[in-house]
Structure 1
Amino acid sequence: MGPEQGPTDIDRRGCQRVVPLQVLGLGLSRSGTSSLRQALLDLGYDDCYHFASCMNENPRDCELWCAALEAKFQGQGSPWTRTEWDQLLGHCRAVTDTPCVIFYAELLDAYPDAKVILTVRDSPEQWYASVCKTLMETWFDMFHGPPRSLRERTYRLFIPHTPLQRMSELLHRHYMYGFMYRWGRQFYQGYNAEIERIVPPDRLLVFNVKEGWAPLCRFLGKEVPPWEFPRTNEAEDLIQRLQGYHAWMDVQVKSRMRRVVGIGLTGLAIGAGIWYWAHQGGPR
């Protein structure tokens, strides 16, 4: 299902695996994961999980991702096994992007027969610049970094506490977004080296989406489609989508602020009326 179909409201706690998970896309966000997702969909790997799956397509998934993150990083609940992954990802033949890649070890263990694709950029600097320009500046800095003004601090007090916001907070607290400016480039290099170290060469494709269809289709044993390799989620497109989310958030925040102010003014008016009655208009 794509975002153009509108969001669903599926509680996957009662789900189970209905198709085999055949491909683990374990490249970090902003390494071409959205383009890879579309390419895999074009090749018949339907569905392919991506951050858009829980942000836009089935927001209730954020509840389960929060549980998985809390179990992994905070010791709340049991670590996830294949049973839980089959519930959350049982409709998928492939996965890509955050938050799936945070659980690369767990997914590799749960699905030992899945092929692995590690998407990479031309250089750590190129990847780092892309993450900072998009995910950091337009999301994590705004919602979770040190407040840059009293207005921003006040704004955050009224942000709705949705599962998506909770998941975002956990990603900033426990994952690379919380230390991106200090160690982002080193994290990218270390993570990619770890994937190459632990995945057998015959199971792994290190892939730059600039290479197009040929290496991907050769690795997966698929025919090359007659259309161009997809290029989706370019930096400017992502920034526009995140700004759209901010616009929605602004409406929610201002609505909550108006309600709080209205309740406060009503309380003041009632209090003033009681005080006046007690001191001026009460029985003599």
Structure 2
Amino acid sequence: MKVIVAGMSKTGTTTMNAALTELGYEVYDLMENFWYVGDGWMKQFKEGFRVEDMKRMYENVDAVVNTPCDKYWEEIFEAFPDSKVILTTRDEDSWFKSLTNQIDRMNSDVTFRLVRTFTYTGIRFQTYFSRSERHLANIGTWPFSNYYLKHEESLKRFKRKHEQNVTEVVPKNQLLIYQVTEGWKPLCDFLDVPVRNEPFPHKNKGGVALDEMRKENAVMQRLENELWIFFACMFVLFVALLYNMHQYMV
């Protein structure tokens, strides 16, 4: 593990995935964390966090970003204390607006809701995600709920506490406080790599994360393929049922 992105969702985490990938890092984002090490996370939610488990989960991964790693960044940092930590941030007003907009879009996305209801992998994902949120709520470190989404100042206050904690825990020589609008130079200087000449990537503008994942993420594509297979099977069964009913009636 070389890089831990400790910034909260909607502070440029999807963009950080793209930037680190362009720099040659093997990055685990939301879907990769679920697909490749989700069982390890579920074990830790149930039995408690162990450094040995975290080391095994991420021994061949260069960087982590987004849920659940942004919320459990300290546990990862304990397992990999030589890692560099990037605290992505943005102004609170635009962050809160972007966060609530993305959640609304995800909750209203019919296909994504069907995936989490009718497919094997989608149900596993929903269970994994819910267990993560429930574990955080139980230990009192993550106030993510409909209540807080309706109480803007409470969520903003949590963001401030989260960022303050990162700055207090991580040694200054291992920490970069960063806004993705700053582009390549501060990021590349911090990581000790040559500054890129290509345009800096900007992802998930306007909360279109699901649309981007459908185009680019193999795990998301698998989930949606399972949905279409499910519907195809249901259609075949329905036609077979109608045929049998017809045969019975004649």
- Same-fold call, TM cutoff 0.5: yes
SS in 2 for 1:235: coil
Q: Is the 8 A contact 1:138 1:242 kept in 2?
A: no
Higher alpha-carbon deviation: 199-208 or 225-234:
225-234
Q: Which structure is higher in RCO with an 8 Å CA cutoff and minimum separation 6?
A: 2
Residue 131 of structure 2: which of 138, 162, 170 is its match?
170
Task: Compute the displacement of 1:52 (Å).
Answer: 3.2
Question: Which ranges in structure 1 are unaligned for 5 or more consecutive residues?
Answer: 1-20, 144-151, 270-284
Residue 210 of structure 1: which of 168, 176, 181 is its match?
181
Describe the shift of the 1:112–1:129 C-alpha distance in structure 2 as closer, same or farther (beyond 3 A). same
In the TM superposition, what whole-angstrom CA distance separates every residue of 1:89-110 from its partner, at most 9, and x where no partner exists? 2221111111111211211211
Question: Which ranges in structure 2 are unaligned for 5 or more consecutive residues?
Answer: 246-250
Q: Percent identity?
A: 23
1:32 to 2:12 alignment: yes
Describe the shift of the 1:94–1:247 C-alpha distance in structure 2 as closer, same or farther (beyond 3 A). closer
Residue 125 of structure 1: which of 82, 87, 93 is its match?
93
Q: Is the 8 A contact 1:50 1:96 kept in 2?
A: yes
- 1:49 paired residue number: 28
SS in 2 for 1:168: helix
1:85 to 2:85 alignment: no
Task: Compute the displacement of 1:28 (Å).
Answer: 0.8
Describe the shift of the 1:102–1:158 C-alpha distance in structure 2 as closer, same or farther (beyond 3 A). closer
Residue 157 of structure 2: which of 186, 200, 213 is its match?
186
**Paired letter, 2:84:** K
Task: Compute the displacement of 1:127 (Å).
Answer: 1.0
- 1:221 paired residue number: 192
Describe the shift of the 1:119–1:251 C-alpha distance in structure 2 as closer, same or farther (beyond 3 A). same
In the TM superposition, what whole-angstrom CA distance separates every residue of 1:185-239 from its partner, at most 9, and x where no partner exists? 2221111111112112222110000001111122122210111211123235314
Distance (Å, rounded) in 2 between the aligned partners of 1:184 and 1:260? 47
Residue 138 of structure 1: which of 105, 119, 122 is its match?
105
Equivalent residues, number:
224
**Paired letter, 1:206:** I
**Paired letter, 1:64:** G
SS in 1 for 2:49: coil
Moved over 4 A (4+): 140-143, 155-158, 241-262
Describe the shift of the 1:30–1:211 C-alpha distance in structure 2 as closer, same or farther (beyond 3 A). same
Q: Is the 8 A contact 1:26 1:116 kept in 2?
A: yes
Q: Is the 8 A contact 1:49 1:89 kept in 2?
A: no
Describe the shift of the 1:196–1:157 C-alpha distance in structure 2 as closer, same or farther (beyond 3 A). closer
- 1:67 paired residue number: 43
**Paired letter, 1:132:** T
Describe the shift of the 1:212–1:253 C-alpha distance in structure 2 as closer, same or farther (beyond 3 A). same
Give the TM-score normalised by structure 2: 0.73
Distance (Å, rounded) in 2 between the aligned partners of 1:171 and 1:84? 16
Describe the shift of the 1:256–1:80 C-alpha distance in structure 2 as closer, same or farther (beyond 3 A). farther
SS in 1 for 2:81: coil
Higher alpha-carbon deviation: 188-197 or 167-176:
167-176
1:101 to 2:70 alignment: yes
Distance (Å, rounded) in 1 between the aligned partners of 2:144 and 2:174? 29
- 2:206 paired residue number: 235
Distance (Å, rounded) in 2 between the aligned partners of 1:171 and 1:257? 32
